[in-house]
Amino acid sequence: RIRASGGHGVAEYQIESEQENLHRFLESRALYRALREDRIGIALQAQVDLQSGAIVGAEALARWTEDGRPMSPASFIPVAEASGLIVPLGGRVIELACDALRAMERAGFPDIPVSVNVSPLQLHRREFIEELAATVARHGIEPRRMELEITEGTVMSDYQDGRELLARLRRLGFGIAVDDFGTGYSSLRYVHSLPVTRLKLDRQFTAGVGGEGGGANVADMIIALGRRLGLDIVAEGVETPAQVEWLRRHECPCAQGYLFARPEPVEDFIARLRGQA
Ligand code: C2E
Ligand code: MG
Ligand code: MG
Ligand code: MG
């Protein structure tokens, strides 16, 4: 619907937002079909110990190809969140992460944990923890082999409930990482009071280190904060040797990024583990 009497700007804006709505609607329908037809997969991205260079973990990332075309999570994850499809999608990713953990175990790597991303809608669903515990138990996976990545907004949207849910997950033995740390709000005010085990230094801060200028201040501060609070830290989006150099010097224990490995099929990740063993 275009308001005929509106100025140009308004009309254009309305056309654009309707196209955007249509696009999201079509994408959510296609995603629904892909889920029903079991065409959602995961890729694993290695996490590396910066002192030894060894692979010490992996993040599971949702993957969806439609007509041979890889769809971007930056697009379909928000669509899944807005439509509620994130609940079955997230459940599928957890199942696939369990399959990957079993495959790693069979290949002789029972001690490499896998991280999965958990959206607010998933975490705050009444059944989430029970279903998660049942899923890992059914696969014979100990909860300490799985880390749940949440963002600051996930907890802050309902702080009391969020904190209690995280505490229950910790009591069951799951690791909890704060993803994209430093990009949300009130990180500094609450992080000391949350039962989390790891901070993921957001890619935008990693991008600021190892170069010219003062872009490293925030990274420096977050690493120091993690150390003070006794939390593990992983730097996201590491792309250059200069960044590795800087992170090592500032005693960041762990990193993830294209420099070490891209997200890859589970078999390729296991081959990578074999290659370093
Ligand atoms: P994230 O959880 O922060 O995941 C890291 C993203 O950064 C991934 O993008 C990864 O491919 C990308 N990345 C890793 N290393 C580098 C690097 O060196 N440089 C650059 N430029 N990028 C790097 P991806 O797979 O496209 O996922 C984007 C976001 O979508 C994720 O960000 C996460 O928020 C969300 N997402 C992905 N899978 C899931 C899922 O199963 N559930 C939920 N709730 N969200 C997911
Ligand atoms: Mg993540
Ligand atoms: Mg992240
Ligand atoms: Mg991110």
CA of 179 to the centre of ligand 3 (A): 5
pLDDT exceeds cutoff 70 at 75: yes
Whether the CB of 177 sits within 6 Å of ligand 1: no
How large is the average pLDDT for residues 65-91?
Answer: 96
Residues 114-134 pLDDT 10s: 999 999 999 999 999 999 999
Query: Which pLDDT score, from 0 to 100, does residue 152 have?
Result: 86
CA of 236 to the centre of ligand 2 (A): 9
Atom of ligand 1 nearest to the CA of 180: 3
Residues 218-237 pLDDT 10s: 899 999 999 999 999 999 99
Query: What is the model's pTM?
Result: 0.94
Whether the CB of 179 sits within 6 Å of ligand 1: yes
What is the predicted ipTM? 0.98
Q: With helix as H, strand as E and coil as C, how does the chain read? A: CCCCCCCHHHHHHHHHHHHHHHHHHHHHHHHHHHHHCCCEEEEEEEEEECCCCCEEEEEEEEEEEECCEEECHHHHHHHHHHHCCHHHHHHHHHHHHHHHHHHHHHCCCCCCCEEEECCHHHHCCCCHHHHHHHHHHHCCCCHHHEEEEEEHHHHHCCHHHHHHHHHHHHHHCCEEEEEEECCCCCHHHHHHHCCCCEEEECHHHHCCCCCCCCCCHHHHHHHHHHHHHCCEEEECCCCCHHHHHHHHHCCCCEECCCCCCCCECHHHHHHHHHHHC
